[in-house]
Chains A and B, each alone.
Chain A
Amino acid sequence: MEAGTVNWNRRLRPVALATLALAATLMLRWPTGLAAMPQAQAGEPGIRDLLQRYSAALESLDANAVKKVQPSIPADNLAKAFKDMRELKVAIDEVRVLSTGGGAARVSCRVKQTLTPKAGSKQTTAVTRVMRLRREADSWVIDAFER
């Protein structure tokens, strides 16, 4: 009977070791995911604030205001586009933070714009865009658009 018990333990040992190894692996990985989530959740209000500032800057038809939010934008080209506009309404929704970390983030959102031009009728467009953000001081700015 003892012998049988010993044999049984021998059989269980690899399973136990494997279980321990898996648990250890999960234990090692789990803290990283847990760490990331709070960061993203902490960054989201900042990102939402950035998107609000971006839509407000577009609506102001002020290329310099947009440049503060998106420093890389070709402001001259944007200013030319604004010259043809009488009014621009911008709504951003379906915001999804794709990744964040290391002072950078990737965000997907839908940008809906309704343009009242100086020549022509109202034009509406809705485009899903993916933007790369970076943290500058205590706020986010748009680094670039991936699409």
Chain B
Amino acid sequence: MRDQRRNAVRVFAVAGAVILSLLFTATSVQAQHRPLSQVLPELILREITLNSPPAPPGNPFGLPAGFTHLAHFSPLGANELDNPAVGVVQGFNGQMATQFSTFPLGSSSGGLTYEFDPSVGTLRRSSSSFGPLFSERALTIGRRKLSAGFNYQRTSYSTFEGQNLDDGSIKFYLPHQDCCTVGGRPFMQPNGTRLNPPFEGDLVETALSLKATTHTAAVFANYGVTNHWDVGLAIPFVRVNLDARVRARVLRLVTDARTAPPGLFTEEEIRTILNLHTLELDNPDATRTVQHSGHAAGLGDIVLRTKYHFLRRAGGGLAAGLDLRLPTGDENELLGAGGVQAKFLLIASSERGRLGQHVNISYTVAQGKVGGSFAGLASAPLPDEINYAGGVELVASKRLTVIGDILGRTLRGAGRLDLVSKKFEYNQPPVPGMPGPGCAGLAGFTCRTVSFDEFAPRSGDLRLMLGTGGVKFNLAGNLLVSASVLFPLTNAGLRSRITTMVGVDYVIK
């Protein structure tokens, strides 16, 4: 008994050390603190500013002295919240925030439990299997039994909607601020595909490279109130590391005066025109990279759990459960979901010989808003979820169970971002021999189009599916050690690389 307690103390000392190291290990770069949910909007929508010189007095374009285009491709800088790029980035950021903070946590299924079986008159293992890893089985731990443990999992993300996150594949296109009307009427299309004003209809292309990693150490406990009723809780401590870089370049659709017919502009006029929209003075092809590396660490969303085993069958039966996820994690730092989630579960499990099976079907009711709001814009509501899980447990030996699971989530109304070829109309400046008409019949210009691939938000459900594989091993006494991997089975939304999870589970009494 004393040895058991000593082992338990050791286990939790290790858990404590892992949690403390998560919370207090410094990252390499953190120039200034900025909530992690604000990083992408700030980088993409505010920090890409031009380096255009102020217009000199008496300039040939009739601009007021000191006028500059500095923030004209910066929707937040120009306070232009109806800029279509804002909606695209908002959708992207909201989905990132939602999926970051609601990634599945490992479960505690009371792996090593014995119960008195009146039919044979002796104690027997409730199940030969040690139970699933990321889902639940119907069995409960048993009256007055207490188990505790902790899991550590590391997740990094590789793609978003099939696009690589960390190589600049994901691009956002920023149109010029819609400063002016043409002919007394709005010229820009509501979806931003007709660039305005006609003489400044360039685009700034921003290419995102994002490295995102989460470390989660969850302490959990499970107590059998009766032989059929468990209550429990899981307390996660989360650390999120984010390293974002945005590389910008000006796509000169209308201001590339170098391509104008010879003699149309003087050298000085060409220089002035090129410097209207430039990221580096007198370097019209310059690129600019803005970046932010930061981390956040702290308490995640605490989960209160209860399960009632209402139909008992050998090695399983049916159970109903409730997981209540409380908004204790800071959603602005991507540590929490930003609202309350109540997950109602129906659990079925059985065991035959060396093979156990389990199926979970659940519905999650959510109330709250995800992190990632910016510039006073409302963030997306935390979506309800339909969850399902199914898997098998193979009892390889008395001390080893091999587990495989499929976990499905449907985030209701979370929306999708589809990569579409977006066509932009722009007005080529007057060129002799290439008469109009310009876009929307604008006289003196020639209407041209150019297409780029960019995400476009659409309404609908986001369906995610993960596969898991792992083992639970009875190291000694009542101590179970588990190791598993989680891997995505779909390309939808934010796709993780292989997630690794290790954990221990200890039945105290």
Which residues of A approach B to under 8 Å, CB–CB?
A: 58, 66, 70, 73-74, 77-78, 80-81, 84, 88, 111, 113, 115, 117-121, 123, 125, 127, 129, 145, 147
17 additional contacts (CB under 8 A) given A88-B123, A115-B123, A119-B398: A74-B119, A78-B120, A81-B117, A81-B123, A81-B125, A88-B122, A113-B122, A113-B123, A115-B114, A115-B122, A117-B125, A118-B398, A121-B477, A121-B478, A121-B507, A125-B123, A129-B118
Cβ contacts under 8 Å, A70 to chain B: 121
Report the Cα distance A125→B144, complex, angstroms. Answer: 12
Number of A-B contacts (CB under 8 A): 63
A123, B114: Cβ atoms under 8 Å? yes
Whole-angstrom distance from the CB of B377 to the nearest CB of chain A?
54
Cβ contacts under 8 Å, A120 to chain B: 112, 114, 125, 474, 477-478, 507
Q: Looking across the interface, which residue of chain B has its beta carbon closest to that of A54?
A: B121
Cβ contacts under 8 Å, B125 to chain A: 81, 84, 117, 119-120
A84, B116: Cβ atoms under 8 Å? no
A123, B123: Cβ atoms under 8 Å? yes
Query: What are 9 sample pairs from A and B whose C-beta atoms fall under 8 A apart?
Result: A74-B120, A80-B124, A81-B122, A81-B125, A118-B399, A119-B399, A120-B125, A120-B507, A147-B118
Report the Cα distance A127→B399, complex, angstroms. Answer: 28
Report the Cα distance A80→B125, complex, angstroms. Answer: 10
- Asked, given contacts A113-B123, A120-B507, whether A125 binds B4 with beta carbons under 8 Å apart, the answer is no
Q: Which of A70, A74, A115 has the most B CB atoms < 10 Å from its CB? A: A115
Cβ contacts under 8 Å, A113 to chain B: 122-123
Q: Which of B117, B124, B477 has the most A CB atoms < 10 Å from its CB? A: B124
User: Is B428 interfacial (CB 8 A cutoff)?
Assistant: no
B507, A145: Cβ atoms under 8 Å? no
B124, A81: Cβ atoms under 8 Å? yes
Whole-angstrom distance from the CB of B273 to the nearest CB of chain A?
79
B4-26 vs A, CB cutoff 8 Å, 1 = contact: the mask equals 10000000000000000000000
Cβ contacts under 8 Å, B477 to chain A: 120-121
Cβ contacts under 8 Å, B109 to chain A: none
Cβ contacts under 8 Å, B120 to chain A: 73-74, 77-78, 81
A58, B121: Cβ atoms under 8 Å? yes
A84, B118: Cβ atoms under 8 Å? no
Whole-angstrom distance from the CB of B142 to the nearest CB of chain A?
10
A127, B116: Cβ atoms under 8 Å? yes
User: Is B98 interfacial (CB 8 A cutoff)?
Assistant: no
Which residues of B approach A to under 8 Å, CB–CB?
A: 4, 112, 114, 116-125, 128, 398-399, 474, 477-478, 507
Cβ contacts under 8 Å, A84 to chain B: 124-125, 128, 398
Q: Looking across the interface, which residue of chain A has its beta carbon closest to that of B123?
A: A115
Whole-angstrom distance from the CB of B11 to the nearest CB of chain A?
14
Cβ contacts under 8 Å, A78 to chain B: 120-122
Report the Cα distance A88→B114, complex, angstroms. Answer: 13
Report the Cα distance A28→B128, complex, angstroms. Answer: 60
Cβ contacts under 8 Å, A129 to chain B: 118, 121
Cβ contacts under 8 Å, A145 to chain B: 118, 121
Q: Looking across the interface, which residue of chain B has its beta carbon closest to that of A123?
A: B114
Report the Cα distance A127→B119, complex, angstroms. Answer: 13
A121, B398: Cβ atoms under 8 Å? no
Cβ contacts under 8 Å, A74 to chain B: 119-120
Report the Cα distance A125→B478, complex, angstroms. Answer: 17
Report the Cα distance A20→B355, complex, angstroms. Answer: 75
Cβ contacts under 8 Å, B121 to chain A: 58, 66, 70, 73, 78, 111, 129, 145
Cβ contacts under 8 Å, A125 to chain B: 116, 123
Cβ contacts under 8 Å, A117 to chain B: 114, 125
Cβ contacts under 8 Å, A88 to chain B: 122-123
What 10 pairs across the A-B complex have the smallest Cβ distances?
A: A81-B124, A78-B120, A121-B477, A119-B474, A120-B112, A121-B478, A123-B114, A115-B123, A118-B398, A119-B398
Report the Cα distance A125→B123, complex, angstroms. Answer: 8
Report the Cα distance A129→B121, complex, angstroms. Answer: 9
Whole-angstrom distance from the CB of B7 to the nearest CB of chain A?
10
Whole-angstrom distance from the CB of B477 to the nearest CB of chain A?
4
Q: Which of A73, A119, A120 has the most B CB atoms < 10 Å from its CB? A: A119
Report the Cα distance A111→B116, complex, angstroms. Answer: 11
Whole-angstrom distance from the CB of B108 to the nearest CB of chain A?
16
Report the Cα distance A120→B147, complex, angstroms. Answer: 13
Report the Cα distance A88→B399, complex, angstroms. Answer: 19
Cβ contacts under 8 Å, A81 to chain B: 117, 120, 122-125
Report the Cα distance A66→B478, complex, angstroms. Answer: 28
Cβ contacts under 8 Å, B4 to chain A: 121
Cβ contacts under 8 Å, A121 to chain B: 4, 477-478, 507
Q: Looking across the interface, which residue of chain A has its beta carbon closest to that of B125?
A: A84
Report the Cα distance A119→B118, complex, angstroms. Answer: 21
Report the Cα distance A121→B507, complex, angstroms. Answer: 9
Q: Which of A58, A81, A127, A145 has the most B CB atoms < 10 Å from its CB? A: A81
